[in-house]
Structure 1
Amino acid sequence: MREVRAEPLTAAAFAPFGDVLEAAGHPDKVINAGWCDRFHDRARLDFGPGGRAGISLFRARPRSLPYECAMLERHPEGSQAFVPMAQMPWLVIVAPDESGRPAAPRAFLPAEGQAINLHRGVWHGVLTPLADPGLFAVIDRIGGTPNIEEHFLDAPFVVTS
C-alpha cells in the first residue's frame, strides 16, 4: 500500500490547493480602540454562479494515524473552508487534478489555530479530526445544483505521521 507522510501545514506548501487561515505575522489592521488585531481577507472564497455563502457546523467522529484513505472528493461549484471550533489535532488530505482524477496525494497536519480554505475543484479527503470533539464551522456554497464529485481510488493509500 502506498504511504503518504503527513507534513506540517504551511501557506507555501498548501498554496496549490487553497488558503491557510491563521493569525500569523503582523496584523493588517488594529481595530476596536487597539484591543483587536485584524488579519484581513485571508481566503479566496468562491461560490460560483447561482450560489451563496453558507455556514454549517460539522461534527465528525475522530480517526487515528495511520489513516487509510480510499476516496477523495471535490466541489466543482465552490470553495470550502474548514475552521475548527476546538483545539484538537486534525488531518488534511489533498491532491492535484490529473485529467479529471486525483493525482499524487499530500497530507498536512494543521497546527493549533490553523484553518483551511480549499479552492474550487480541489480533490481532498473527508473531514478527519484526530481527537474529539471533531467540531468545525464550514463555509461553503449553498445552491440548487450538485456540488460534490467523489472518486474511489483503485488502490487506497495510508497516511502516517
Structure 2
Amino acid sequence: MTQILRTLALTAQAFAPYGDVLDATGAPDKLINQGLCGRFHDRAKLDFGADGRAGLSIFNAQPRALPYMLDMVERHPDGSQAFIPLHQHPFLVIVAPDKGGTPGTPLAFVTNGAQAINLHRNTWHGVLTPLAAPGLFAVIDRIGPTPNLEEHWFTTPWEVRSA
C-alpha cells in the first residue's frame, strides 16, 4: 500500500518554510558590468555551521520519472544545501516539515526549468531527482569534519504523481 502525493509548482512563498527558491524573476537588484548584466543579489541563506565551510561539488544524478516512489528522506543538521541545475529541465523537489525529529507529510514541487533551490539547515528532503537528462547540478553544501546526514525511511512509501 502506498500513499499518494501530488506535485505542486515551485513558488518562493510555498517553499519558504523549507528553503529558498533561486531564480532571476522580476527586475534585477542592480545592473553591473557597464549595465550589461543584471545582478539578482543574495538569493540564498547559506549556512555551514561553526565547524564547516562552503564546498562546491558537481552531481550527476540519473533521471527519474513520475510517478515516483518516495520511500526515504534525509536532512543535513549542520548545513544548508543548494542545488543549481546545469541545464534548463524541471526537477522534482520533495520536502517535509519536522514533526518531533521525524518528517511529517511531505510536499512535492516541480521546478519550471529555470529555478534552483537552497534547502535550509535541518530540512527533511528527498534525494536529487532530475526528471530529464542530463542530471548535472552544481551543489553548494557544508564540508566539515563531522557527519552531516540523517535518513528517515517511511514505513508506508509515498507515490508522487503529477498534479
Q: TM-score, normalised by structure 1?
A: 0.99
CA contact 2:89–2:114 (8 Å) conserved in 1: no
Superposed counterparts of 1:16-35, under 5 Å: 16-35=17-36
Structure 2 counterpart of 1:113: 114
Cα distance, 1:89 vs structure 2: 2.1
Root-mean-square deviation (CA, aligned residues, Å) is 0.5
The superposition leaves residues 97-122 of structure 1 with CA deviations (integer Å, 9 ceiling, x where unpaired) of 00100001000000121000000000
Superposed counterparts of 1:7-86, under 5 Å: 7-86=8-87
Structure-2 separation of matches of 1:87 and 1:12: 22
Gaps of 5+ in 1: none
Which stretches of structure 1, 4 residues or longer, exceed 3 Å deviation after superposition? none
Structure 1 counterpart of 2:150: 149
Structure-2 separation of matches of 1:89 and 1:98: 29
Number of residue equivalences: 161
SS at match of 1:47: coil
Q: TM-score, normalised by structure 2?
A: 0.98
Gaps of 5+ in 2: none
SS at match of 1:13: helix
The superposition leaves residues 57-102 of structure 1 with CA deviations (integer Å, 9 ceiling, x where unpaired) of 0000011000000000000000000000011221000000001000
Read off the aligned partner of 1:95 and give its amino acid letter: A
Identical aligned residues as a percent = 65
